[in-house]
Amino acid sequence: PEILEADDPTAEDEEKARAAAEQPEEAEEEEEQEENEDEED
């Protein structure tokens, strides 16, 4: 993958897009966990 990224800039863009797509999902999961903790308390 590292070689492909160096030869193919689109591979790097795809990786950034995936990271950007993953970040909001992780944030949502954290928010859900906090809500669940509040309900338990």
Q: Tens of pLDDT along 4-39?
A: 555 666 777 888 888 877 776 665 666 666 666 766
| Residue environment code for 14-35, b if the CB has 16+ CB neighbours within 10 A, otherwise e | eeeeeeeeeeeeeeeeeeeeee
What tokens does 27 get?
């944030």
The pLDDT value recorded for residue 28 is: 60
The pLDDT value recorded for residue 14 is: 83
What tokens does 40 get?
């338990």
The pLDDT value recorded for residue 11 is: 73
- pTM to 2 decimal places: 0.33
The pLDDT value recorded for residue 15 is: 83
The pLDDT value recorded for residue 7 is: 63
d(CA 26, CA 33): 11
Q: What is the 8-class DSSP label of residue 8?
A: -
The pLDDT value recorded for residue 21 is: 77
Q: Which residue range is the domain that position 36 belongs to?
A: 2-40
Number of domains in the chain: 1
